[in-house]
Every structure is written in structure tokens, then in C-alpha cells.
């Protein structure tokens, strides 16, 4: 992919929102673009060769397999976002990986040590990075609170609500979501079983709050506010 396209991608990402022309040119020379297809997974590299990814287009899930080979979904990301070796020390969970949830997902990748040098040289990037990490921390804290204080039904409602706010399209009095998550994915995110998710979604459908199929979820506006 040409450097001009990469330049446009970087300029559109919030990490480079306040970047100077010099910074954009320097970052463009250090980054590569990759198109990832739905269901394709990829790791973060090793040690000094670990990578940081900027999510430019599409959706990605961050997950790892535990000791009994069951998948733990740590996060669902919607562009624009970032992931990878975010500590920039090569000490991320060795079994953690990213998987594209949508077709033609686009990411820009950079060696973590190169990114660390950019942060040291340009304070605007350090500030933007800190802001993005703060948002991720608040998201983790919110999920932890949900697990402690709410039952599975409320966790599902809150998950759908947040999903709709970040990724939904308003059509009349409805919110339309592209359904790129399986019941198993949702169950893993909200810490319940796939069977429970199926039962709870049926209850919400019977209550007139949503209509769903394999391709999309149609939400009644009330679900966002109650």
C-alpha cells in the first residue's frame, strides 16, 4: 500500500489528531498497513520485535486461551482504537491474540520500540496515548463493576446498550447493529454461558426490546435509556 494511503490513515486516527506534518511523515516511514479478513487472527510479535496496532477500519476482538483451552475475550474493539504491546516492554500475555470480526479490517502496525521513540520525541503523541489508555482503563473498571454488582441479564443489557452507543446506526426510532458477535462471544465478554445469552436474548425479543438474527440486531430505542 502506498505511503499516501498510510498517511491518510494515520491522519484520521485520534492518536495523530494533533500531529505535525513532520511527525506524520516520520510515522508513515515506520508503519505498515495490513488488511485482515474476518476470522483471521494475529499476534503481537516477540520481545524487542513486539508490535502496536492502530485499528483504522473494522472490529477486532482481543482474546486468549486459558489452561482448559476455553477462550477468554478480553475486549471488543471498534475503530478507531489501538492494541498490541501497549506497555512497550514485550511483557504482554504470550497467549493473547487479536482476531478480526469484520471483513476487510484495516490496521497499521509499528514496532513497539519505534513507537516508544516517537512518544519520547513528540509530546502530543504521549498525551494522546495517555488519553486513549485512560479510556481503556475506564472501560475495564466498568466491566469489573458490572461483574461485581449486576446479574447476567443486567450485564447483557448494559453490554448491548454500550454496543449500540459506540457502534449502532439510528434508523427512525430504532438502533441497528451489525451482528458480528456470536452468542459465545457475548457470553465470554459478560461472563455467563452461551445458553444463558440465548435465553436472555429471547426474553428481550419477547418483551419487544429487540429483534435479532445472524446478520443484525434491531433495538427499540427504549433499551438505551432503561
d(CA 114, CA 30): 7
The CA-CA-CA angle for residues 135, 139, 140, to 5°, reads: 120
| pLDDT digits 0-9 by tens, 86-136 | 988 877 777 889 999 999 999 999 999 999 999 999 999 999 999 999 999
**Where a domain ends, among 128, 146, 164?**
146
Same domain, residue pair 125 and 173: no
Which residue range is the domain that position 220 belongs to? 150-224
Same domain, residue pair 44 and 103: yes
Same domain, residue pair 157 and 197: yes
| pLDDT digits 0-9 by tens, 174-203 | 889 988 999 999 999 999 999 999 999 999
221 pLDDT tier (thresholds 50, 70, 90): low
Query: Which H/E stretch holds residue 27?
Result: helix 21-30
Amino acid at each position: 500500500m502506498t505511503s499516501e494511503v498510510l498517511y491518510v490513515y494515520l491522519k484520521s486516527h485520534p492518536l495523530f489528531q494533533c500531529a505535525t506534518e513532520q511527525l506524520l511523515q516520520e510515522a508513515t516511514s515506520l508503519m505498515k498497513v495490513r488488511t485482515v479478513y474476518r476470522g483471521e487472527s494475529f499476534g503481537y510479535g516477540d520481545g524487542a520485535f513486539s508490535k502496536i496496532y492502530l485499528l483504522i477500519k473494522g472490529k477486532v476482538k482481543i482474546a486468549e486461551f486459558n489452561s482448559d483451552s476455553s477462550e477468554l475475550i478480553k475486549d471488543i474493539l471498534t475503530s478507531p482504537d489501538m492494541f498490541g504491546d501497549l506497555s512497550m516492554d514485550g511483557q504482554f500475555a504470550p497467549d493473547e491474540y487479536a482476531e478480526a470480526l469484520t471483513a476487510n479490517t484495516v490496521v497499521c502496525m509499528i514496532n513497539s520500540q519505534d513507537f516508544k521513540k516517537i512518544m519520547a520525541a513528540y509530546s502530543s503523541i504521549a498525551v494522546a496515548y495517555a488519553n486513549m489508555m485512560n479510556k481503556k482503563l475506564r472501560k475495564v473498571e466498568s466491566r469489573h463493576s458490572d461483574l461485581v454488582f449486576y446479574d447476567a441479564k443486567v450485564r447483557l443489557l448494559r453490554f448491548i446498550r454500550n454496543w449500540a452507543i459506540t457502534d449502532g446506526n439510528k434508523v427512525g426510532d430504532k438502533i441497528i447493529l451489525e451482528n458480528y458477535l456470536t452468542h459465545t462471544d457475548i457470553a465470554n465478554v459478560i461472563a455467563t454461558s452461551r445458553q444463558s445469552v440465548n435465553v436472555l436474548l429471547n426474553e428481550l425479543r419477547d418483551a419487544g426490546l429487540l429483534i435479532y438474527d445472524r446478520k443484525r440486531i434491531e433495538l427499540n430505542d427504549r433499551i438505551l435509556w432503561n
